Structure 1
Amino acid sequence: MRNPLSDKIVTIEPSGIRKFFDIVSEMKDAISLGVGEPDFDTPWHIREEGIYSLEKGRTFYTSNAGLKELKEEICKYLNRKYQLDYNPNKEVIVTVGGSEAIDIAIRAMINPGDEVLVPQPCYVSYVPCVSLAYGTPVIINLKEENDFKLTRQELLDAITEKTKILVLPFPNNPTGAVMDYSDLKDIVDVIIEKDLFVISDEIYSELTYGAKHVSIASFEGMKERTITINGFSKSHAMTGWRLGYAAGPEIIMKQMLKIHQYAIMCAPTTSQYAAVDALRNGDSHVQSMVEAYDQRRKFLLHELRDMGLTCFEPYGAFYVFPCIKEFGMTSDEFATRLLREEKVAVVPGTAFGDSGEGFLRISYAYSIEDLKKALERIRRFIQKLRIKDKN
Structure 2
Amino acid sequence: MHSRGGDVVSWTKRISALARSGRAAEAVAAFATMEATPNALTLASVLPACAALRDLALGRAIHGYCLRRRANLILNNALLDVYAKCGALGAARRLFDGMPERDVRSWTAMAWGLARGGAPRDAVTLFRAMLLLSSDSDDAPNEATLVSVLHAAAATGSLACAESLHPHALKRGLLTRERVVGNALINAYAKCGDARMAFRAFEEVPGKDMVSWGTVTRAMAVNGRYREALQLLARMLRRGVRLDGAVFLALLSACCHAGRADQALRLLDAMRRVYGVPPRREHYTCALDTCGRAGRPDRFGEIVGGMPVEYDQQVLGVYCSHFGKGGATDVDAGERLQERFLDGEVDAGGGTYALVSKWLADAGRWEDACAVRERMTARRIEKAAACTWIEV
The structure with the largest alpha-carbon Rg is 2
Instruction: Provide TM-score, normalisation by structure 2.
Output: 0.24
User: 1 or 2 for the larger relative contact order (CA 8 Å, sep ≥6)?
Assistant: 1
Instruction: Provide TM-score, normalisation by structure 1.
Output: 0.25
